Amino acid sequence: MMELDAVIAANRFGLGARPGELALIAANPRGWLLNQVGNTAACQITADGLMSGTQAFEALQAYLQARNAQQRGGDAVRFQADERGRLANLVGQTIGRDIEARIQHAITTPASFGERWVQFWSNHFTVAARSAQTTPFPGTFEREAIRPHVWGRFETLLIAAETHVGMLIYLDQAQSIGPNSQAAQSGAGQRRRAGLNENLAREILELHTLGVNGGYQQADVTEFARALTGWTIAGPRVRRLAGNAQIGEVVFVPALHEPGPRRIMGRSFAASGKNQALDILRFLAGQPVVARQIATKLARHFVADDPPQSLIARLETNFLATQGDLSALAKTLIKSPEAWMPEAGKFKTPNDFLISTMRAGGVASTSTQALRGTFEQLGQAPWRAPSPKGWPDVATEWAAPDAILKRIDWSNLAADALGESTHPVRFAEEALGPALRDTTRTAISRAQTARQGLVLALMSPEFQRR
């Protein structure tokens, strides 16, 4: 009989088994996971028409220019109608394509632990589409700043994330200007009503590194924000200050940078221009409290809402010992006995429920047009996290009564699509292997219709949990 470990590898660590995949994993569940660690190529998404960050910025500029030009014209009704079309076009060519490619990758990849790992980090460094300005960037951010670095060092990932065009726009860094910078002192800076914006500095400290109780003060936030000034994007005006850089390129503009040394958490950082903020990021990445933060978050994501202290401690120790080697961290997680307890401690997010359903159904390709609405109705539209904190990671946030009912109703629809070629009991066996309880198997086999049987399989505790 197949070991439970194969199911744990596929469901708890991965995005669920595709038909036949459990048998493959069963030969060596830990080996199957370890093989994915460090495989950066398997975590990349390439598809036609996906934009770089620079291209996405250009698309945003084109949209803004067209909008502003028409706004000056003054026909309000006509403007509303055209604006809808413009916005749809912007969404379609940027985040729309990325959503499609990401779902496609998630439902077909044989390296589904790698994809979970990517999505964990993508959520840790949330860049969400919350406005026209931010909409073009989450996909390109994940492809350019997250995916290439998830198996490297935390510090490298941190710097890649904080200096990407998507993050600089999402957390308002692009318009932050040192109050005593050259530009602010000149007339140009004053015309732009420019000043310091602390948003990125605060979220780096609070969410990306030290944590809210990580020992920093408001003064540290302000100091860090000053150090970050100058890091911006080459827009139509700024590019002239940055040696005529290409539109959309991330640049450091000395003229916008707050001059002088900075002092953060008792440590001094010399005035080194571009490097000052990078030095601070490296300093933060090495703080012991970061190891604790990341260890806790990872254990909560993969193992339990209230994870065992022994697991957190082991991950923390490893992070410290390897200076944040993320491959070593993943291997430590895989080798931890706490991660292989038979009891399924985690409740799937809507995203993982939908993806694992399609994987279990052997869906090879799908139009995400209709599916996108489903993600939204189940409460987790791709890259639309409500705040920089990202999506919540505990069951109480996802298992509200109405949310459960919506999952059941969607399962009812999905069962129709899956049911034409799927026997409900076999479906459950392929997806859950030995994790399928006898009571569930019996309930499925006694269902009144194949559709009802599939709904019971999809909504069973063992499919909903991992």
Using CB under 8 A as the binding rule, whether residue 347 contacts another protein is answered as yes
Nearer to another protein, 80 or 367 (CB): 367
Q: Is 464 helix (H, G, I), strand (E, B) or coil?
A: helix
Nearer to another protein, 19 or 214 (CB): 19
Contacting residue, 212, 365, 386, 387, with another protein by CB under 8 A: 365
Site string for another protein, 376-405 (x = CB under 8 A): -x-----------------x---xxxxxxx
Nearer to another protein, 253 or 418 (CB): 418
Using CB under 8 A as the binding rule, whether residue 423 contacts another protein is answered as yes
Using CB under 8 A as the binding rule, whether residue 99 contacts another protein is answered as no
Query: Within 13 Å, how many C-alpha atoms sit on residue 278's CB side?
Result: 12
* 27 phi/psi in degrees, rounded to 5: -60, -35
Structure tokens at 216: 């920093």
User: What letter would DSSP give residue 164?
Assistant: S
Residue 299 C-beta: closest distance to another protein, Å? 20
Nearer to another protein, 310 or 442 (CB): 442
Using CB under 8 A as the binding rule, whether residue 438 contacts another protein is answered as no
Using CB under 8 A as the binding rule, whether residue 426 contacts another protein is answered as no
CA-wise closest residue to 238 among 292, 272, 194: 194
CA-wise closest residue to 383 among 56, 152, 71: 56
Using CB under 8 A as the binding rule, whether residue 440 contacts another protein is answered as yes
Q: What one-character-per-residue DSSP string does 372-409 give?
A: HHHHHHTT--TT--SSTT-S--SHHHH--HHHHHHHHH
Q: Which among 61-69, 121-129, 207-215, 366-374 is the span making contact with another protein, rule CB under 8 A?
A: 366-374
Nearer to another protein, 361 or 433 (CB): 361
* 60 phi/psi in degrees, rounded to 5: -65, -45
Task: Map the footprint of another protein across residues 442-461, applying CB under 8 A.
Answer: 443, 445-450, 452-453, 455-456, 459-461
Look at strands 267-269 and 262-264 and give their pairing.
antiparallel
Residue 368 makes CB contacts below 8 A (sequence gap 6+) with 99, 100, 103, 104
Using CB under 8 A as the binding rule, whether residue 291 contacts another protein is answered as no
Query: Within 13 Å, how many C-alpha atoms sit on residue 353's CB side?
Result: 32
Name the E strands within 194-261: 231-233, 250-252
Handedness of CA 40, 279, 227, 266 (dihedral sign): positive
Q: Which among 3-11, 21-29, 68-76, 411-419 is the span making contact with another protein, rule CB under 8 A?
A: 411-419
Chain-centroid distance of CA 445 in Å reads 38
Nearer to another protein, 70 or 412 (CB): 412
User: Are 173 and 257 spatial neighbours (Cβ–Cβ below 8 Å)?
Assistant: no
Q: Which among 6-14, 68-76, 131-139, 363-371 is the span making contact with another protein, rule CB under 8 A?
A: 363-371
Residue 465 C-beta: closest distance to another protein, Å? 8
Residue 368 C-beta: closest distance to another protein, Å? 8
Q: Is 343 helix (H, G, I), strand (E, B) or coil?
A: coil
Using CB under 8 A as the binding rule, whether residue 464 contacts another protein is answered as yes
Structure tokens at 289: 């409290």
Nearer to another protein, 265 or 455 (CB): 455
Which positions lie near another protein, rule CB under 8 A? 347, 358, 361-367, 369-374, 377, 395, 399-405, 408-414, 416-424, 439-440, 443, 445-450, 452-453, 455-456, 459-461, 464-465
